[in-house]
Structure 1
Amino acid sequence: MSKNPFDYPEIRSRLALFVSLESALSCIQVSKGFSQDFAYPIWHTIDFGTQKTLPQKDSTILKKYGHHIRVVKGVETQAHLGLLLDLEVSQLLDLDLKTTMDTLFQASCYDLLRQNQTTLTNLKIQSKNNEYSSAKFIFLDSLVSPQPSKLTTLSIRWLTLTRDSLVSILRHCPDLDSIDLWGTTLTPSRKSDDYQHTGLTTLQIKATEAIKAGSLPLLAHFPNLIRWGIGDNTTPSAFPSQELKESISKWCPRLKTLETNFTPSLLLNHLILNVFSGLAGLLFDYKEISSNIILALLRTPSNWVHLTTYTGLIGSYDRHKDDGVAEVKDHFQSSSWMLQSVVRSCPKLVTFCFPDHEMDMDEIELSPWGCTNLSDLRVRIKGLDTRDKVERTLARLKNRKSHESLDTATEDPESIDWEGTSIEARTVRHLLQFDKLKTIWLGTGVWEI
């Protein structure tokens, strides 16, 4: 029996997930078996941001494997587009590209989108400079065709788009659930089209673009909108509060979640108190938290289900999984007792993700939390300041919750008195009160318990 792991297809297919692109290119030329095992895992996802030498590879070799490609990221140059077209890539699921005003580049974009129109489910197109652009989004008819589109997520950022073009896209993308128009300017149409896309639930666009004067509000197209990313940096007096409030009431009665990145504390407070009603979810920048924001949340404590903050950790909670813990930078520490009022007073709260906030067990233990259905918790605990302490605490918590009673839990090898007053023991006792707690982060990696 061979001792070389590469002689076994089931092992080769696993090893293929961990080799570099250069090694994979060599391996697929060894034999037909190697080619089958190494081609798909390597070619499924192409990221031009990290695979910078890919356009220089021998196209005769690359062309054999273009049919494996399903995800493409970081398309920014004509060389990137040329390679994808040469490879005859036609079964993409995800595509992320940055466009320019160059005529050849845009024509190539058109061709690439056209030949993947029936398979794409996620598409992101934005101006290469990430700033307001007069560039027109000219690839419209590559998305609009007699063949049905499978797009569920669409992002068109920092471009200019006519309202008619947007409505055409909506009409031809029946499966669309989320659209991101951040930084994109919508130009008025000659006539109003009141088409409604009943499947779309998530929208990202500035309020001023959503309710432009003299035209049917953009919100009119989305009667089942649930989540809106509305980030704005204006003042309450300059914000179109009344117009927006009326539009939401008329067109989007199901709107429940607000995302407010780039929104200063003063305007955020105004939105919660005076513009949006019946909110159940809020995502905001933690640096904007204040006593007024806490009081605004406590005005309707029985409504809140999901409360989350933007931080440098969003999307990368596991960045400290292997080395230490996340650094605490809590500017609200002196008033942290006010956040305890939120978890004590909001009975429906399921998600509480404030990874920049450090809680004090002395304050926590003064009064029980009312959010008995808590499922996702991401905070820091004062005193759990090393990786060992955090991991030991979470391991003990998971051990306890995995058994029917505390009496059947296995013994912990560490010399911790879990009935004592250590910060680890106190934290575990507190968290064991929440039977539905499934996801937790205390400074290292996310744990599922």
Structure 2
Amino acid sequence: MRAPAPSTNPMKQQKPLDIPEIRTNVGWYLDLSDVYSCTLVCRDWARTFIPLLWHTVDFSLKPQIPLCVLKKHARHIRRLEYLELSEKGGDTVRLLCVSSGIRHLRHLSIAFCESEQVNIHGFDLLRRNRASLMFLKIIRKPFEPEFDIVPVQYCIPPDVLVHPTSSRLTDLSLHNISLTREGFAYILRSSPCLKKLDLTTSNILAGGYIDTVDARGPGRDLLTDQDSEDDYYLGEEGAETIVVDGAVIRWRPFRHHGLVELAATLQEIFEPDPNVPSPSLLQHFPRLQELYLSELELISSIKPSVVRSEIKACCPDLCTVGFSSSPSPAVEELVTYAFENLAAVHLERHNYTVGVFHGLLHHHSTLTSIMTYADPGTSFDSRQPEPIDDFFKDQGRVIQLLFQILPLKTVCFHEHEMKIEWMEEKPWRGTLEELSVRIEGLDTEQKIEKALSPWVECWNKYRDALRQAEGAPLNLLLEGSKGDFPGTAEESIPAEPGVKLEPVDEKHMTAQFNDNQGGRYILAPKAPSPLDFFVNDGSLEARVTRFLLQQPNLRNIWLGSGYWSH
């Protein structure tokens, strides 16, 4: 009998990595050296992995790439990082070499210089890729102090930044950039997908206001000629009256309902143009949820009460605030008097003050997250704890109040060291899910592991016991009245005929009163606790373990050396 002929079906002869789609998906998980090795396997693999190899080009790493090679593979680039233009060449030469081939960028970070002849090449790059860009960061050098007005070279035409009809931009950062109010509205109107906006150190100059009383009739937008019934616009009743150069203007702001995160200084938001009275930028963002303030200064014209009323009127959903490069007195005053019902707060380490923490207690029913900005270059993945300078350590009892009063779920105090004695004085609220903090005495990797390994082990045993308890039968009916515990391990209690009595193990069994069973108790498996599996030897590590096991929702923890979870 002849053997069957081998199958000629190409799908049965293919291996998984012979399929380009699978190779591409695998390639995203490889580092660059492995991706480069894959390009050398064969021609088919080269076609798959070369685009992955050139997907991201980071000029901050000063890559030594021959210009001819850069020009050849420019069409594969989707992410350009830290492209810095200069009159002396540098990255400008590389940009001139690759710009004509780059047409589908999704991520671009670019720094312009003072030479408009050089910057024009950067503008061309933006125009060609504005329809595909999803992340855009533009940086310019800070304004020179001798300028009384913003110089022309710091103004960028808004149509360069976004495509008028098909922008996919979701994240936009503008640093030291000046725009008119009209240009700013154009960017918002042309970016329906925009979620995050960073205007730190930028200027939104007065101008471009919309007069609703126009020759074409009220309720028309002079910039877009669209009806004001559009969801993004206010009607005639929503127009505001402002005075510019002695003229009364009816102004109707464009409202972007998609943007949820804004970063800027307090003055940039509430006094966009110090020389001309103008409405705050918050009026553009009715769905704003996160506000990050930097270089905070308490200005007499911007009082906390003004901030509070503006947020209440324009951004009722705001629940997260952050403060960076800001003095503690200003942070304390705003947290206490300017914001209501905060859910999350981001602070810098120098803002650990008694006044700031007392301000946080004003949000006792809503605050669930307190985060700390890390210093540049700080890594929390190191296995060996790094020494810190915790100037707030001696006043740490104030921090204990936060855990006892607030319904906290996430707390990151990477550079604060707690004392276990203070932690044990009063129980925490019990809502904590993620904790990053140091504990005095746990200053080596071995000590931290000795405290957290039993924590993970007890939770694993607890889950195993729960699974066993779920499958255990309800095997005993006990006579008694409601309010009476049915017995102890050595008692025998009358039961129904034919039911064998067994001792009651109070540690793992519980009696549940059931009215449906004629007012009798059902002896059922008792739900264990992680503490049931813990052995306390009185050491510092054991005290820490016991305290952590008392937090029923805690799942992720960092004590100075790597992250632990169960």
TM (norm. structure 1) is 0.85
Give the fraction of aligned pairs with identical amino acids, expressed as a percent: 29
Alpha-carbon separation, structure 2, partners of 1:109 and 1:403: 60
Aligned to 2:11: none
Give the conservation status (yes or no) of the 8 Å contact 2:181–2:208: no
Give the conservation status (yes or no) of the 8 Å contact 1:208–1:240: no
Give the conservation status (yes or no) of the 8 Å contact 2:154–2:176: no
* 1:238 CA drift (Å): 6.4
Other structure's SS at 1:267 match: helix
Residue number among 399, 423, 432 corresponding to 2:540 in the alignment: 423
Other structure's SS at 2:30 match: coil
Aligned to 1:311: 374
Residue by residue, what CA displacement relative to the aligned partner does 1:391-442 show, whole Å, maximum 9, x if unpaired?
A: 4433443343344448699xxxxxxx95222233222222223343333222
Aligned to 2:122: 109
Deviates most, 198-207 or 417-426: 417-426
Residue by residue, what CA displacement relative to the aligned partner does 1:10-31 show, whole Å, maximum 9, x if unpaired?
A: 999669934559x93x874674
Give the conservation status (yes or no) of the 8 Å contact 2:180–2:208: no
Alpha-carbon separation, structure 2, partners of 1:240 and 1:158: 25
Alpha-carbon separation, structure 1, partners of 2:294 and 2:349: 14
Aligned-residue CA RMSD (Å): 3.0
Matches within 5 A, 1:189-338: 189-191=207-209, 192-212=251-271, 214-235=277-298, 237=300, 239-312=302-375, 316-318=379-381, 320-321=382-383, 324-338=384-398
Q: Say whether residues 1:76 and 2:60 are aligned partners.
A: no
Aligned to 2:238: none
Q: Which amino acid aligns with 2:420?
A: M
* 1:51 CA drift (Å): 3.9
Deviates most, 138-147 or 128-137: 128-137
Aligned to 1:90: 103
* 1:314 CA drift (Å): 8.6
Q: Say whether residues 1:158 and 2:171 are aligned partners.
A: no
* 1:330 CA drift (Å): 0.8
Q: Which amino acid aligns with 2:543?
A: R
Instruction: Identify if the C-alpha distance between structure 1 residues 205 and 233 changes in structure 2 by more than 3 Å, giving closer, same or farther.
Output: closer
Instruction: Identify if the C-alpha distance between structure 1 residues 155 and 131 changes in structure 2 by more than 3 Å, giving closer, same or farther.
Output: farther
Instruction: Identify if the C-alpha distance between structure 1 residues 403 and 229 changes in structure 2 by more than 3 Å, giving closer, same or farther.
Output: same
* 1:34 CA drift (Å): 4.6
Alpha-carbon separation, structure 2, partners of 1:129 and 1:398: 51
* 1:230 CA drift (Å): 1.7
Q: Which amino acid aligns with 2:332?
A: N
Other structure's SS at 2:159 match: helix
Aligned to 2:459: 401
Instruction: Identify if the C-alpha distance between structure 1 residues 44 and 332 changes in structure 2 by more than 3 Å, giving closer, same or farther.
Output: same
Alpha-carbon separation, structure 1, partners of 2:166 and 2:550: 50
Q: Which amino acid aligns with 1:388?
A: Q
Q: Which amino acid aligns with 2:93?
A: A
Aligned to 2:89: none
Matches within 5 A, 1:13-162: 17-20=30-33, 24=36, 28=39, 31-36=42-47, 38-54=49-65, 57-59=66-68, 61-77=69-85, 78-86=92-100, 88-128=101-141, 134=151, 135-162=153-180
Other structure's SS at 1:230 match: strand
Instruction: Identify if the C-alpha distance between structure 1 residues 122 and 391 changes in structure 2 by more than 3 Å, giving closer, same or farther.
Output: farther
Instruction: Identify if the C-alpha distance between structure 1 residues 139 and 81 changes in structure 2 by more than 3 Å, giving closer, same or farther.
Output: farther
Gaps of 5+ in 1: 1-7, 410-416
Deviates most, 31-40 or 374-383: 31-40
Give the conservation status (yes or no) of the 8 Å contact 1:82–1:108: yes
Instruction: Identify if the C-alpha distance between structure 1 residues 391 and 131 changes in structure 2 by more than 3 Å, giving closer, same or farther.
Output: farther
Alpha-carbon separation, structure 1, partners of 2:354 and 2:47: 60
Other structure's SS at 2:372 match: strand
Aligned to 1:173: 191
* 1:387 CA drift (Å): 1.8
Matches within 5 A, 1:363-374: 363-370=422-429, 372-374=430-432
Deviates most, 91-100 or 9-18: 9-18
Q: Which amino acid aligns with 2:441?
A: G
Give the conservation status (yes or no) of the 8 Å contact 1:219–1:248: yes
Residue by residue, what CA displacement relative to the aligned partner does 1:264-318 show, whole Å, maximum 9, x if unpaired?
A: 1111111122222222221111212222222222233222111112232798432
Alpha-carbon separation, structure 2, partners of 1:235 and 1:146: 38
Deviates most, 228-237 or 98-107: 228-237
Alpha-carbon separation, structure 2, partners of 1:178 and 1:234: 23
Other structure's SS at 2:322 match: strand
Instruction: Identify if the C-alpha distance between structure 1 residues 130 and 201 changes in structure 2 by more than 3 Å, giving closer, same or farther.
Output: farther
Aligned to 1:345: 405
Give the conservation status (yes or no) of the 8 Å contact 1:236–1:267: no
Q: Which amino acid aligns with 1:360?
A: K
Aligned to 1:4: none
Other structure's SS at 1:194 match: coil
Instruction: Identify if the C-alpha distance between structure 1 residues 251 and 11 changes in structure 2 by more than 3 Å, giving closer, same or farther.
Output: closer
Deviates most, 120-129 or 360-369: 120-129
Aligned to 1:413: none
Aligned to 1:3: none
Aligned to 1:412: none
Deviates most, 350-359 or 125-134: 125-134
Q: Which amino acid aligns with 1:433?
A: Q
Q: Which amino acid aligns with 2:415?
A: D
Q: Which amino acid aligns with 1:361?
A: I
Aligned to 1:5: none
Q: Which amino acid aligns with 1:185?
A: N
Alpha-carbon separation, structure 1, partners of 2:417 and 2:60: 35
Give the conservation status (yes or no) of the 8 Å contact 1:123–1:153: yes
Alpha-carbon separation, structure 1, partners of 2:300 and 2:377: 31
Q: Say whether residues 1:185 and 2:245 are aligned partners.
A: no
Aligned to 1:389: 447
Instruction: Identify if the C-alpha distance between structure 1 residues 435 and 39 changes in structure 2 by more than 3 Å, giving closer, same or farther.
Output: farther
Aligned length: 424
Give the conservation status (yes or no) of the 8 Å contact 1:69–1:92: yes
Instruction: Identify if the C-alpha distance between structure 1 residues 380 and 100 changes in structure 2 by more than 3 Å, giving closer, same or farther.
Output: same
Other structure's SS at 2:542 match: helix
